[in-house]
Each structure stands twice: as structure tokens, then as C-alpha cells.
Chains A and B, each alone.
Chain A
Amino acid sequence: MADTAPSRSRDLDKLLLRAGNLVGPTFEPGTELRDDLQEYARILVVGAGGLGCELLKDLALSGFKNLEVIDMDRIEVSNLNRQFLFRMEDVGKPKAEVAAKRVMERVSGVNIVPHFCRIEDKDISFYNDFNIIVLGLDSIEARSYINAVACSFLEYETDDKPQEETIKPMVDGGTEGFKGHARVIIPGVTPCFECTIWLFPPQVKFPLCTLAETPRTAAHCIEYAHLIKWDEVHSGKSFDPDDPEHMQWVYSEAVKRAELFGIPGVTYSLTQGVVKNIIPAIASTNAIISAACALETLKIASGCSKTLSNYLTYNGVAGLHIKVTEFVKDKDCLVCGPGVLIELDTSVTLEKFINLLEEHPKLQLAKASVTYRGKNLYMQAPPVLEEMTRSNLSIPLYDLMDKVAKDILHVTGVTGQSDKKTSCLRKLRVVFRGVDGVTDMDMAGGA
């Protein structure tokens, strides 16, 4: 025990060993907290790219010892300017594996388990093993997926309060050039990704006829080669943006097109940028956003400070602007919301259930279509689906839901009186009476 040498956790200790005025409500300072944090806190980093490299380094240096990282990509030469854990000789190797190895070499005592696969390849239960999930991603799809997974662990009490031990916090970072964001998502408490998906601007898309007929910019020429010319020449073969030969083909076609119309500016890197929707990545933006995310992760895990509430935006284009906005939850969010609690007998048929929805005081939902975990139990329209699902109407809902004691299902239907009908899509929490493991909740259902 080298007590004289300065401890690696010296700075951390200042946060974790002392009480303070800004600490969270459950904060219990002391060495036990620090040691527990190291022993028990399990953090998943999703993405081992520009942000992911920073995050792994920052989290490891913040004292977390049990980290895992998941990423499906291999290292490319163009990553090396900012994804600082990678070297020339790593090109072609899986990012997750190299990143984990490099951080473990440099930060003693940390254990990082890499997962070289798609996020969808893992069982949902894989994600439940972590206390906090930190996202360093570049797509809406991937964020939406992880968000749905994390929110699926969330359970609510009968009074619609989230059950604390089922909350899976997420810290989401994102960067685009000189701009970035960091946000804290505590499902059931702060807005989830889906509550505020409208924050993302729609992708710019050019009209196909402009591409075909009146190209005016280099990007038009590139999109013409990518979206129209490719299909014309390679009938049936789909374009793969990660195949350099495909990209080269699109580039050379775009050059021909640009020459034809006298348009300057088509380059190979612009072609990649337009086709893959790439915005140049700035190393310092990643570093700043990652620092914010790692700090929030530490705060959530330890309670050593109140957390970011709840969405930080950073803009370094002209000067340096940081703003924190407190977004609000969508109480009817299909992903993180509690849904309407409905208690049923196991004998209730789907048809009876659909009728009950119309009478339910909180719903008053007529003409309901019902979907359960991707299975469409009943569809009011179109006729072809109505016919395919009609036979379910006479089957007990309990059987259609694979005899689980309780679960989520979704319904679409019409609410309101004849003069003002609106369509709506609702999440329901169905609980079956008298099925094992479920306590009596008569006072909640009232049916």
C-alpha cells in the first residue's frame, strides 16, 4: 500500500468523500461509495467511434472499472485523425476490440469488454445488466432502438409512478461538425428520445425530377448517380455505401454528369459526404460533448451532484455557446409513458376487450385495432387485414397474449363525440386478475 503516492482517485475523492450543497437527495459520501462505484457500477458505451473513444477514456479515468462497449464497425483510415485510440496498423480491425484494449493498456484496473456486433444482435436482457447506458451514436435509428430497449425495462406502480429499480438511465451524446448535444434520459422521469424526436430536423432530400432533369449543384449530380443511375445500370443489385467500388462508381458517374451540365465541385470525399450524409467531424467537439456525458454518468451513478436537466446544446461555429434546455415528457409517450392500466379477467375475449375500451372512462376508444409485441391481434382496416385477424375476436385476450400475467399492448381507435372525433394511438398496461405473482389491485382497475 503506497499511501504516500498520490491516489489516482484524488480528484474523484473530492467529489465522492465530502458532503455538499449541490448533491443529489440520496448522496452518501464516503469511501464505501467510491469503492462500490468501482465494484458494482456497470456502464455500457454504445459506439466506439469519435465519441465512443472519448467516452471510454473519460469514463475509465473517472474511476469506473466495469465498462463494456458495443460497435459493429471496423477501423478506417479516415477515422484516425480523431479516434485517437486507433493507429495505422489497426485499420480493418473492429473498433470495439481495439478501443477496449488501448484503454485497458493505459488505465490500470479498468476492465472493458468489447462487443463487435450490431446493437440489435444482442438480447434485450444484455442491456438490462448495465446501470447506465451511454450513447455515442450518429443515427436516429440506433438511438431510437436503444431508447426503446431501455424504456422497455421500466415498470410503473399502480399510481403511475415509475418503479425506481426498473429505471435504466441513458446519457446521450451527439456531434455534427462544430455542434453537439449531451442529454440525460431517465425513463419515466425526464423525456425519452421518442418524446422529443421532433427535435431532429428532417434530412434534406432533393426532388428526383430535379436530379433527373435540372441539376444545379455538385450534390445533385452525386445524388443522380446514387439514386437514379445506379438502379438503371445495376438492376436488382442494391447500392452498398460501405463498398469502396460502389462509391467509386457513383463518383465517376457524378463527374460525368457534372461535366455534361458544366457544374464544378464533384470530388470523391464530397460524394462520400452526400451519399452517407456525412458532416465533417471535429475532434474537439467530440471531446467537449464526451466530457459532459462522462460527468453526467458519474453524477447519476454517485448522486454527487444534481444532473443536467436535461438537454445541453453546444455550438462552436462562431464563438462558443452552451445552453441547457429542460424539455418536458410527453405523458402519453408510447415508449416511456405509463400507459392506461386495465385489469381484466383471463376469460375476457378480444371482442369483449375492444368493447370495454369504448366504455373505459380514461379511454372511450371506439373501433379499436389491437397490436401486441408486433402481432396484430385485430385490425379494423383495411379489409384484407380485418379478415385475417377476425378469428381472434372470439379468443380470450389472455391466450392471445401468451398467458402472461401482465404486459403492454397498443391500441388505435377513435375518441370523442360524433362532431369532433379524433384518432388516437394508446399504450395500455394490461393486468390479468388472479394470475400468479400479481397482487390484487382491485382499487386500481375499478372494472
Chain B
Amino acid sequence: MIKLFKVKEKQRENAENANGKTPVKKQSAGELRLHRDISELNLPKTCSITFPNGKDDLMNFEVSIRPDEGYYVGGTFVFTFQVSPIYPHEAPKVKCKTKVYHPNIDLEGNVCLNILREDWKPVLNINTIIYGLFHLFTQPNYEDPLNHEAAAVLRDNPKLFESNVRRAMAGGYVGQTFFIRCI
């Protein structure tokens, strides 16, 4: 199959004049696919993206979302994205860096968004996730709770939920939990 023994002399030669022709580190297929996702990002005005490690590390970035309607209007919420080398086989790991009073985001920043876990498909992309996150702020959903108390308040008393959200975003306590100002 392979002309292994025609190769044997060639190999000796190569070993002798290995003058820097050895390839350096390769980009993984995941990085390349991410390069495409990022270069095609089409974000609404309410979202922005930054790359804390500079222009050559696309695998780790932050997305800020500033909802322009709904309960969370006026707040700024920062999400960290960690993308694996086998992206898009695996969804990025997304966490909310801003402590938020939200039925679908817990106080550690875990996010309950179906496309980040059980419904992730390789055809989805970074843009889809950002729109999904944005959607969580305009349409918080008490049926998939991660913050149980917040979900119960949203379900039973939307007016109280609204004032709790405002209080948290302005910087203050909701129940026992302190939230840092994010307006």
C-alpha cells in the first residue's frame, strides 16, 4: 500500500536536513469553524462582543447583552463563552458573569437554555446562542426554573417580580441575596 521502503531513504534525508520545515501548531477544525462563526457575527445593537485575550484567541470571549425591552431593560449582562476544540460537535460552555435575578439563570451563572445542552446541534452557531440568550431577557420563563424563587414570583406575582428585578439591577437585596448594580 504505502511504499514504506522507497520511503526509507527519503526519511533519512529528511531527518538530516530538517531545517525548520517542521509544521508548527495547527489550528483545530473547531477553531476554524469558530473563525467562520465569529467573522459572520451579525449582532443586534443591544449585544456586543469582546475578546479578553486579544484577536488571536477566539475560543474565549465575552458577550454583553443590554435588553431594550421587558423586565430587564437598561441592565447590562455579561456572558463568558468557552469554546472546545471539537466545536461544533460540542456546544460552547456559557456562563453569566453578572449576578442576575432571573428564573432561568442561577446565582452561580448557570444558564438554562435548551440549545446550550440537550438541543445543541452542530448546525447551530454562536449567533444563535447569543439570540437565545437575548431572548431569555425579553421572555423569562418560569416553566424551566434554575432560580426556583424567582420563577415562583414571576408565575404568581409578575408585579413583584418586576420590582425585584429593578431592585436587583439597581444594586440591592432581593430576599437574602445581594445583587451588584448592573444598570
- List A residues at the B interface (Cβ < 8 Å): 24-26, 28, 33, 36-37, 40-41, 123-125, 128-129, 131, 140-141, 144-145, 148-149, 152-153, 164-165, 167, 169, 186, 194, 197-198, 200, 202-203, 205-209, 212-213, 227-228, 231-232, 235, 299-303, 306-307, 334-335, 369, 371, 373-376, 379-382, 384-385, 388-389, 410, 412, 423, 425
Contacts and interface: CB of A to CB of B under 8 A. Distances in A.
A227 B108 CA distance: 10
5 contacts: A25-B1, A26-B6, A152-B26, A153-B23, A202-B89
Interface string B112-124: 1010011011100
A205 B6 CA distance: 49
A24 B2 CA distance: 9
A373 B42 CA distance: 25
A141 B30 CA distance: 10
Contacts, number: 185
A141 B85 contact: yes
Given A206-B117, A375-B56, A382-B41, A144 B86 contact: yes
Given A207-B112, A207-B118, A371-B35, A299 B1 contact: yes
A144 B104 CA distance: 34
B145 interface: yes
B117 A205 contact: yes
A152 B158 CA distance: 58
Nearest to B113: A208
Interface string B93-110: 000000000001011111
Describe B's contact surface by its main secondary structure. loop
Interface stretch (B43-51, B71-79, B162-170, B173-181): B43-51
Interface of B: 1-8, 10, 15, 18, 22-33, 35-36, 38-43, 48-51, 54-56, 58, 84-86, 89-90, 104, 106-112, 114, 117-118, 120-122, 144-146, 148
B142 to A, nearest CB: 10
Given A208-B110, A381-B40, 9 more contacts: A24-B1, A125-B18, A152-B23, A165-B3, A208-B146, A228-B146, A371-B32, A381-B39, A384-B48
Contact of A389 (B55, B84, B90): B55
A208 B49 contact: no
Nearest to A148: B26
B1 A26 contact: yes
A388 B38 CA distance: 14
Given A125-B18, A165-B7, A412 B42 contact: no
A293 B167 CA distance: 63
B23 A124 contact: yes
A169 B109 CA distance: 45
A301 B25 CA distance: 27
A285 to B, nearest CB: 24
Contacts of A203: 90
B174 to A, nearest CB: 17
B38 A385 contact: yes
A423 B36 contact: yes
Given A206-B118, A382-B43, A376 B55 contact: yes
A200 B110 contact: no
Contacts of A382: 38, 41, 43, 48-49
A227 B109 CA distance: 11
Contact of A41 (B4, B58, B104, B108): B4
A9 B102 CA distance: 70
Contacts of A148: 26, 28-29
Contact of B36 (A24, A140, A232, A412): A412
A369 B5 contact: no
Nearest to B3: A26
Contact of B27 (A37, A302, A371): A371
B39 A380 contact: yes
Contacts of B55: 376, 379, 385, 388-389
Contact of B85 (A145, A167, A335): A145
Contacts of B26: 124, 148-149, 152, 373
Nearest to B27: A374
B102 to A, nearest CB: 12
A205 B118 contact: yes
A296 B15 CA distance: 26
A12 to B, nearest CB: 16
Contacts of A425: 32-33, 35-36
A213 B4 contact: no
B35 A381 contact: no
A207 B43 CA distance: 26
